[in-house]
Amino acid sequence: MPQSSNLKRKIFIYMALAGLVPLLVLAFQNHYFGKRAIEKLEIEHLSYSLKSRMLWLREWTRHTRKEFFRIGTQLAAKDGRLAREDLTALDFAVQALFKGHSRYKSLTVYDQNWSVIRQFNENPQAVIPAPSDNFKKKFGTADVLLADRQYQTPDQDIILSIGQTVLDRNRHPALYIIGEMNMTNSLKRVLSDTSDLDESGKIYLVAGDGSLLYQAAPVAYENTCPGAITFPDQLLQGPYWQLQKRRDCQGVSVFSVAAPIPEMDWILIVEVDKMHAMKEIERYIGIGSSTALAILILILIGSWRTASNVADPLDELARVARHISAGNHQERLPVFKDRYLNDVGEAFNAMLDTLDANKRLMIQTISLSAVGKLSSSIVHEMRNPLSSVKINLQALARKVKDDPAYAEMAGIAISQVKRLESMFSDLLHFSKPIQLHLEETSFQQIAEEVREILTQKAADKIISLEIIDNLGNTPLTVDRNQVIQALINLVDNALQWSPEKGTVQVIGEQAPAGGGFTIIVKDQGPGIREEQLSNLFQPFYTTREVGTGLGLANVKKIVEFHGGSVFAGNNPDGGARFSMTFNGRLR
């Protein structure tokens, strides 16, 4: 039991692992490639969103430059002074600028010495800060749009100073225009819509130095950072247009894609919460995990049942073996549900039945061997006195042959002595071991010799002794004398049971299984009763009042020493049928 139980556990563990390992590998593979697919889709999604906003932002920058350029072209400064008509045109241009697509807090026109020529302010009471020295150094002989550092108002609006140089006809700096642009309000229409991203999508416009110019995020994600928003150098300096994984100011994992805007030295960044981006695959992972758990349970159940189907019969086999070892030789394996296991069980039971039969046969053989040795000794001791008795009886018979009464008694005595001699001869023959002397012969030779020996006995009852040869000249390698003796016993038995004027047939034919031959003896007697069939070839069993019961036993012994088998039965049309099958396997 313990060994088989250990085997059951091992089979269960191995089968469970065999089912679980591929399941885990498949789950890991699906999860890994699923994440890679989501990341690839997210790159495409964020890149598309980034490109569309870059187009809007570049268009916004172009309009802003165009507005500043329009103001510059309307100013014709001489010696750093503006004519009255220029101031009037400037007023109109600034009013149009304040009503444009951008939102300005102020606009100031400076001369070559950075003295204020004209100033416009959204709030007349507000003080406009002077441009920084670093910003002034950026202005040169090119009429490009420049940007300074931004600052934040108490209202959380981000203000960016932008400016442009106005050149005279000789391409020399004449005036400087500097405006304070409210980036928060100006870019709201361009960057604030994050509906094409998921609910966690954010957009950042960052200056080249990493300072935040503009932020667009859903309401739930606005102003969620405890301090200033910073970005890693890898995101600001590149590589651009690639998905980068990082943690935001709150420590949340996000997917980010950045792209530069070289015209303004800005960087546009779009990002989404990684958890939201992966929520679909996480949902599928949940479904897959439930499915995997169900499959795992089925694997465990199937593994346990398989282990039980394999190990339980071994448990039963061990139990039966122990019971048989303990002396219960009638114990057998039960019927198993599995067909293959049941075949093994039936083969095991058949083996036990065969061993049991062989054991009984061996005991019987040992007993018969002991009886045979004893009988052989007795026969040798009794044959000499019996011969002396026979000789004396024959002498007495000659003396009293003239007296009918005594002559009859003497004849009876002599016949009984002959019967004893026959019995002793059969017993001696049965007790001796057979030594086969194989030689090549034919069925016709064997049958003719038997008929010659028994012709007179057949003639006494007017019985026809027929030989049917279906073997022809097929050579038969047997102990010729032993086979003749066995056939004599069968034919003699058939003659005794056949009625007068009957027929006894001796048939030679190929064995049904092939590779051997069969000799059949048929008679027209009363046949064999059913209850006699199982005992006919047992030693000392006889159905006649006169007989030793060793004739058929000797037949069986001779045939089995040739490796063959004997059979007794009844003919369909009446009479007994005996057969001897020789298959060539010799003892």
Q: How many Cα atoms are found within 13 Å in the side-chain-facing hemisphere of 583?
A: 10
> Are residues 58 and 262 in contact, defined by beta-carbon separation less than 8 angstroms?
no
474-478 mean pLDDT: 90
The Cα 493–Cα 500 span in angstroms is 14
3-state secondary structure of 274: helix
Tokens 């002498």 belong to 395
The Cα 64–Cα 543 span in angstroms is 134
- pLDDT for residue 489 is more than 70: yes
- Average pLDDT in the chain: 78
> Are residues 212 and 206 in contact, defined by beta-carbon separation less than 8 angstroms?
yes
Banded model confidence at residue 521, pLDDT cuts 50, 70, 90: very high
Task: Write down the architecture of domain 434-582 according to CATH.
Answer: 2-Layer Sandwich (3.30)
The Cα 203–Cα 231 span in angstroms is 13
pLDDT for residue 552: 84
The Cα 297–Cα 304 span in angstroms is 11
CB atoms under 10 Å from CB of 261, counted, come to: 16
Smallest CA-to-CA distance from 46 within 259, 235, 220 is with 259
**Contacts of 376-384 spanning 24+ positions with Cβ under 8 A:** 376/427, 376/428, 376/431, 376/432, 379/424, 379/427, 379/428, 382/424, 383/421, 383/424
> Radius of gyration of the chain from Cα atoms?
61
pLDDT for residue 197: 76
One-letter amino acid at 17 equals: L
The Cα 333–Cα 343 span in angstroms is 11
The Cα 192–Cα 31 span in angstroms is 34
Tokens coding 23: 């399941």
Tokens coding 157: 């609006």
Q: Which phi-psi region, left, alpha or beta, contains residue 359 (left: φ > 0; alpha: ψ -120 to 50)? A: alpha
Tokens coding 500: 């007068």
pLDDT for residue 484: 92
Instruction: Express each pLDDT in 272-289 by its tens digit.
Output: 877 776 766 667 677 777
> Are residues 14 and 311 in contact, defined by beta-carbon separation less than 8 angstroms?
no
What pTM was estimated for this model as a whole?
0.45
Instruction: Express each pLDDT in 155-197 by its tens digit.
Output: 777 888 888 888 777 777 878 888 888 877 777 777 777 777 7
Report percent pLDDT > 70 for the chain. 83
- Topology at the third CATH level for domain 74-186: Beta-Lactamase (3.30.450)
227-245 mean pLDDT: 79
Smallest CA-to-CA distance from 580 within 507, 493, 476 is with 507
- pLDDT for residue 464 is more than 80: yes
3-state secondary structure of 196: coil
**pLDDT higher for 316 or 226?**
316
Strand order in the sheet with 253-261: 212-216, 202-207, 266-273, 253-261, 244-247
- pLDDT for residue 227 is more than 50: yes
Residue 456's alpha-carbon distances to 3, 292, 459, 469, in angstroms, are 72, 92, 5, 22
CB atoms under 10 Å from CB of 366, counted, come to: 10
Instruction: Express each pLDDT in 51-101 by its tens digit.
Output: 888 888 888 778 877 777 777 666 654 444 556 666 677 777 777 777 665
The residues spanned by each domain of the chain are 74-186, 358-427, 434-582
Following DSSP, what letter does each residue of 301-314 receive, concatenated? HHHHHHHHHHHHHH
- pLDDT for residue 38 is more than 80: no
Residues paired with 159 in a beta bridge: 151, 182
pLDDT-wise least confident of 68-72, 224-228, 244-248: 224-228
Following DSSP, what letter does each residue of 503-524 receive, concatenated? EEEEEEEE-TTSSSEEEEEE--
Residues paired with 439 in a beta bridge: 478
Banded model confidence at residue 585, pLDDT cuts 50, 70, 90: very low
